[in-house]
Structures are given as C-alpha cells and as structure tokens.
Structure 1
C-alpha cells in the first residue's frame, strides 16, 4: 500500500514505515502530523483523486528538523572583475510515515 501526498509544493510517494524529508513544517519532534492532501492511494486498486482523494489521510511522526547540505551559488561575469559567491542551506523536517488511511 502506498500513497502520493503533496506538501511544500512537492509530491512524495510514501508507504508505511518510510522516512522522508519535506520542507520545514514547524512542528515539534515526537508529535504526529496528518497530511490531508492525498492525491492518490494504491491498496490493491489505484484510487486517484480529483484533485485529492476524499476522506484519505496520511499520519506521520515528526523525527526532527535539520538543514540540508550547503549549495554554492557562484555568479561570474567575464572581463569585468565581477564575481560573487553565496551559499544556501534549506531547512527540512524529517518524518516517519505511520499509517495510510484510505
């Protein structure tokens, strides 16, 4: 059984027991978070929502928050002496999928 959920402008294919990293949710570690934007559920037969599946939720436990590896942004223009180096670390929330309610 798996489901496709939408959060943070992205879509994730999840199954029970999976550990995923999503955009920062601002929820304390150890708490339960429910996703109500379930786009599709497969439990033997595929159920596709329009745009979401009515009554379907995915429950997850928050394992913690963190920051991803640094991405270097380097801007450069030749012959002018212009170059600028910048870095970015995206914040994320790590979740463990507990139950898919179809």
Structure 2
C-alpha cells in the first residue's frame, strides 16, 4: 500500500519504510508526526481524494533536522562598478522515515500533526466539529450590478485601470465584474464590499477606479 501526501507545497509518493526529505517541520529527532493531507491511497482498492481523503494519514518518525546542498546565486550587471554579487542558500529540511499509512481514523490517533512552512495540515488532530461555523459578516453591500458572465461574451479590458493587472482582473471576473460601467456605478457601501472581496483595502478609492472606469465607459459609447 502506498500514499501520496502533500506537505510544504510538494507531493510525495510514499510507503512504509521510506525515508524522505521534506520542508522543515516543527518536531525534534525521535518524535512521531502525522501528515493529514493525503491526496491518494494506492493498493488493491485505490482511493483518490477530492482533493484530500478524509480520515487518511501518513505517520512518520523524525530522524533529523538537516539542510539541503548550498545553492549559489550569482548576479552580474553590465557597465556598473561593484555590482557582482554571490549569495548562497541552504534550504532547511526534515528527514523522516514513514512508519504507517492509515486509510481512516487519523483524527483519533493523538499523534502530533506535521506542521511547517507551506504545510496545509496546521490543525490539531481532533474530531472536526459537526456544526457549520458561522460566516463572518462582510463589510458593505454587495453591488447590485454584478454579472454571471460578460455581456455578449466580450468583457472590457479592465487592465486599463491603474493598479489592475491580470490576476486582479481575473479576481474581478470571479466576483462578477466584467465592464467599466459596473465599476463606475458603485456606491460607497458597494466599494467597501468589493475591497473585502479583492483583499486590497482602499485601492479602489486610492487609485480612483470609479473615475477611470467612467472615462473608459464613456469612450466606448
């Protein structure tokens, strides 16, 4: 039986007895840790997570805290004095030996969760609450002019607005904003709501999105 686990932003295919190096986790040599982000279990009856498999885990023993080989980064700029620079870096890693693969019951083992930089499994190994957690109230009011898709399948080029790049444009589309006139019509309460959705507090007001959007919308007419 094997498992595919995720830790430190990387995926590893492991089975009992394997020794592997993972992004550093908070544990001492000799400690037993548990990886709860399991993407797949292989064997006679393979199971694929969506994206993770509930209750599955991989347990391992920490062998040592180590560092990877040094990586040299050399920068040289032409026609500039004293601009050559060499930097070295050794990534911090943890050496572990896989001891067990659990198909279920991970929340009841009591084994310390493997937590480290980039790890998603930063939760205590206790049974998850059955009740649904209350959703935090968002600031402001949801704009009334949000759309499910662009009109005629042709969204405006929102990147024309100062401060809007490809990623932010994609996030605006995800929130139902495809056209300049939508932005130009937002009220103060609607701006507050969109600030929360975009995670850029004050950018809309600071960069003057409404004025810019109104100008671009007028050019289209």
Both structures adopt the same fold (TM-score exceeding 0.5): yes
Residue of structure 2 in register with 1:72 after alignment: 72
Show structure 1 runs of 4+ deviating over 3 A.
none
Corresponding residue of 2:133: none
- Tell me how far apart the structure 1 counterparts of residues 58 and 43 of structure 2 sit (CA, whole Å): 13
Measured after TM superposition, the shift of residue 4 of structure 1 is 0.4
Please list the CA deviations of residues 10-54 of structure 1 after superposition, one character each: whole Å capped at 9, or x if unmatched: 111111100000011020110100011001000212210011011
The answer to whether residue 10 in structure 2 is matched with residue 10 in structure 1 is yes
Does residue 26 of structure 1 match 2:26? Answer: yes
| CA positional deviation for 1:71 | 0.4
Unaligned runs of 5+ in 1: none
Kindly indicate which of the two structures has a greater share of residues assigned to strand: 1
The structure carrying a bigger helix percent of its residues is 2
User: Unmatched 5+ residue regions in structure 2?
Assistant: 104-221
Shift of 1:80: 2.1
Aligned pairs for 1:77-96 within 5 A: 77-81=77-81, 82-96=83-97
Q: For 2:79 and 2:13, how far apart are their aligned partners in 1?
A: 47
Q: How many residue pairs are counted as aligned between the two chains?
A: 102
Structure number with larger C-alpha Rg? 2
Whole-angstrom distance in 2 between the partners of 1:78 and 1:44: 60
The TM-score normalised by the length of structure 2 is 0.45
**2:51 matched to which residue of 1?**
51
Structure 1 residue 6: Cα displacement: 0.5
TM-score (norm 1): 0.95
Calculate the aligned-residue CA RMSD, in Å: 0.9
Relative contact order (C-alpha < 8 Å, sep 6+): which is higher?
1
What are the Cα deviations for residues 58-79 of structure 1, in whole angstroms up to 9, with x where unaligned? 1100001011111000011123
